[in-house]
Amino acid sequence: MADILEIERRTLHDEVVSRLRAMLVDGRIAPGAKLNERELCERLRVSRTPLREAIKLLAAEGLVDLLPNRGAVAVKLDETDVVHIFEVLADLEGMSGELAARRISDAELGEIKALHYDMLACFARRDLSGYYRINALIHAAINNAARNPLLTKIYRECNARAQSLRFRTNQNEAKWAFAVKEHEQMIDALEAHDAARLRGIMVEHLLRKRDTVLELMRAGQIETHPTAAPSFA
């Protein structure tokens, strides 16, 4: 009975984390918004204990900031933050692609291709949430195929803070279609075990995401910190 209760507790914890993470990534909880525990408990139909555990985990992932006298707040980045994060992410993704192209197994390649087809189905249905969820799995699978635990740890920590911004970059139809083409190029490079080509594709993919995020910020479609004062054009 104790084992069953422990399994149920872990399942509930995972479910709360998953649903709260999705709310943060797709903007249902706006960047900079305070996480109201009472409202979230009602919305997720859970008690405060699993909710608080989920918030702590998401804070460790970088999706939530725990601020003195304010509690938990959805992470909110300014333009300088975006530039710094995507510079690092581009190199991390590029390294992941380069190593994965050299080390990926046939089974791992098959799984990534299957995910790619699922992602294309979401694109055809214009299911942005489903597309992004599978897209993130593909990037994570490429990172895992690099077989470098330290790279994976750093990548996950850095990528977590950019998740909600990456989600917004495909809300423009043309940019979304171009991102799909880039993913097709990634699959081709992986199959060919072309490490240099895959590194280049993934770096450019991330830098293009950065540029789109900055465009949206400057157009007022993504809020920035009111105190932000970026020093670049």
pLDDT in tens, 110-134: 999 999 999 999 999 999 989 999 9
Using one digit for the tens of pLDDT, what is the confidence trace for 138-151? 999 999 999 999 99
Q: Quick one: pLDDT at residue 163?
A: 82
Is residue 162 over pLDDT 50?
Answer: yes
Q: Quick one: pLDDT at residue 85?
A: 93
Considering the entire predicted model, what is its pTM?
0.77
Residue type, 75: V
Torsion of CA 82, 85, 170, 39, to 10 degrees: -80
Using one digit for the tens of pLDDT, what is the confidence trace for 184-196? 999 999 999 999 9
Q: Class for domain 2-74, per CATH? A: mainly alpha
Q: Residue 203 has which token pair?
A: 């770096």
Contact indicator for 154, 143 with CB cutoff of 8 Å:
no
Q: Quick one: pLDDT at residue 124?
A: 97
Contact indicator for 44, 182 with CB cutoff of 8 Å:
no
DSSP, res 34: B
Q: Quick one: pLDDT at residue 6?
A: 41
Q: Identify the CA nearest to 210 among candidates 173, 174, 162.
A: 162
Give CATH 1.20.120.530 domain extents, the chain.
79-218
Give CATH 1.10.10.10 domain extents, the chain.
2-74
Using one digit for the tens of pLDDT, what is the confidence trace for 64-106? 999 988 899 998 889 999 999 999 999 999 999 999 999 999 9
For 29, the enclosing helix (H) or strand (E) is none
Q: Quick one: pLDDT at residue 9?
A: 59
Q: Quick one: pLDDT at residue 77?
A: 86
Is residue 215 over pLDDT 80?
Answer: yes
Evaluate whether the domain defined by 79-218 bears CATH number 1.20.120.160.
no
Is residue 205 over pLDDT 80?
Answer: yes
